[in-house]
Structure formats: structure tokens, C-alpha cells
């Protein structure tokens, strides 16, 4: 489901700062050679992630779900001089492509790219994060949130992608609710009722939830 008319989306992209050449190349190669390229954050959302990161100037970022590394590179644009981003992905098949672009970037020495199960890895991380970006399997969103919240500093932020799930989370005509849709409905409801965070759901791309730890 497209939440914005194509003309509005195109106009928005036209009046948004351009991707740099490395991101353009990664965007093209992902669409040409990788399954499900829609999973890429892309130009508009990528610039939004960069802007959020530049506003916060985080020292520590955690990303759950690397894919081909586009969003990680965008988030790194706001890192403090000595900052670090940890990104976790379970799909080792994309590791060669992703590492190639990380190594080409200006942030190669600031990115810790981990292949493995985030549910198992997050508890082992001895860090306090300024910013967390969740963009992995939807079934585990509640688990990721619960695992991360204590590791986020007061006033820090969690971003959760795909929370509108092509409109399925509010489609009353669905004959059957699949597991991913139900997981996101449960996550959105839980966040709305959690007095430990302040939240706003934005209809950017497939829905982006911004949460601030109180």
C-alpha cells in the first residue's frame, strides 16, 4: 500500500537533499542484485534517518537488521566524532556485499557489523545507547523493544520501521491476520500504553515509530 500519492512522494524526494554517490551505488546494486529490495530504506527515509541522527549527535547507535547497510550508513552521518554504531543481522548471505560498502564508507572504523541472532546478542552488549533502529523480523519487535529499553539512556530514542505493514495493521477487511501483522499490531498497542516512553507514528514509507525514553 502506498500511503502517499506518487506525485507527492516524487515531489518530496525532489525537494530532499540527494543521497551521496556511495548510497546511490548501494541503492542501485541492491535493487539489481538482491531479493526484496523494498527492504532498503531508500532515499527519502534514509535522509530522514540521517537528519534524526544529526539532530541527536549520538555516541552509540544500535541497529537491529542491517540488510545491505544503507540505513546504517545514513545513521552514521550523525555520529559524534568518537561514536560507534553496532548493527546486527542474521542473514550471512548479504555479508560480502554489506561489508564492501561499509569498507568504502567514511565510517568503516566506527561500524561494528555482527552476524547473528539479535535476541541472543543484545543481552551481551555492555553499552548505553543514544539511538536504536529496529528494522528486523517483525515477530520479535516486542522482544527487541524489551531487550533494548534498559540499554537506552533517559531521553534516548528508539525508531521502529514498518509499523504500518502495508496498511495491514488497520485493514478491517483482512480475512486472516498473519503472524507478522499481529506482532506489529501488538507492538503498536504495547508502545501506546507504555508510560516509559513518548511515541509518534509517522506514515513515512511503511510507517516509522519514533519513541523517546522518559
Its pTM stands at: 0.96
Per-residue pLDDT, 32: 96
Mean pLDDT for the chain? 96
Per-residue pLDDT band for 1 (boundaries 50, 70, 90) equals: low
Domain at 6-213, CATH homologous superfamily: Vaccinia Virus protein VP39 (3.40.50.150)
Choose from 32-41, 61-70, 166-175 the range with maximum mean pLDDT.
61-70
Domain boundaries, the chain: 6-213
pLDDT in tens, 83-119: 999 999 999 999 999 999 999 999 999 999 999 999 9
Region 150-166: what's the mean pLDDT? 97
Q: Give the CA distances from residue 195 to residues 134, 145, 184, in Å, rounded to whole numbers and listed in that order.
A: 20, 14, 19
64 neighbors 41 (Cβ within 8 angstroms) = no
pLDDT at 2 over 80: no
Give, as one character, the DSSP assignment of residue 17.
P
- Torsion angles phi and psi, residue 150, rounded to 5: -70, -20
Q: CA angle at residue 112 from 213 to 119, to 5 degrees?
A: 55
175 neighbors 156 (Cβ within 8 angstroms) = no
pLDDT at 73 over 70: yes
Per-residue pLDDT, 53: 98
124 neighbors 97 (Cβ within 8 angstroms) = no
Helix axes 179-193, 141-149, angle to 10 degrees: 30
Q: Give the CA distances from residue 23 to residues 74, 162, 174, 203, in Å, rounded to whole numbers and listed in that order.
A: 8, 21, 37, 23
Region 197-201: what's the mean pLDDT? 98
How many Å from the N-terminal Cα to the C-terminal Cα in the chain? Answer: 33
73 neighbors 98 (Cβ within 8 angstroms) = no
Amino acid at each position: 500500500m502506498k500511503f502517499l500519492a506518487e506525485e507527492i512522494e516524487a515531489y518530496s524526494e525532489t525537494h530532499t537533499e540527494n543521497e551521496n554517490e556511495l548510497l546511490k551505488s548501494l541503492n542501485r546494486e541492491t535493487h539489481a542484485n538482491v531479493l526484496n529490495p523494498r527492504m532498503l530504506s531508500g532515499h527519502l527515509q534514509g535522509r530522514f534517518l540521517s537528519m534524526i541522527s544529526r539532530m541527536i549527535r549520538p555516541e552509540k547507535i544500535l541497529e537491529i537488521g542491517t540488510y545491505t547497510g544503507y540505513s546504517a550508513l545514513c545513521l552514521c552521518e550523525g555520529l559524534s566524532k568518537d561514536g560507534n554504531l553496532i548493527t546486527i543481522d542474521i542473514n550471512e548471505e548479504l555479508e560480502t556485499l554489506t561489508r564492501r560498502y561499509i569498507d568504502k564508507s567514511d565510517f568503516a572504523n566506527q561500524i561494528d557489523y555482527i552476524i547473528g541472532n539479535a535476541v541472543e546478542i543484545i543481552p551481551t552488549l555492555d553499552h548505553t545507547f543514544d539511538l536504536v533502529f529496529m528494522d528486523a523480523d517483525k515477530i520479535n519487535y516486542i522482544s527487541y523493544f524489551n531487550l533494548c529499553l534498559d540499554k537506552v539512556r533517559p531521553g534516548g530514542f528508539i525508531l521502529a520501521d514498518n509499523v504500518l505493514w502495508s496498511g495491514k495493521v488497520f485493514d478491517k477487511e483482512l480475512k486472516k491476520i498473519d503472524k507478522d501483522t499481529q506482532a506489529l499490531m501488538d507492538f503498536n498497542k504495547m508502545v501506546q500504553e507504555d508510560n516509559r516512553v513518548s511515541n509518534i507514528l509517522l506514515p513515512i514509507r511503511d510507517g516509522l515509530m519514533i519513541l523517546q525514553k522518559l
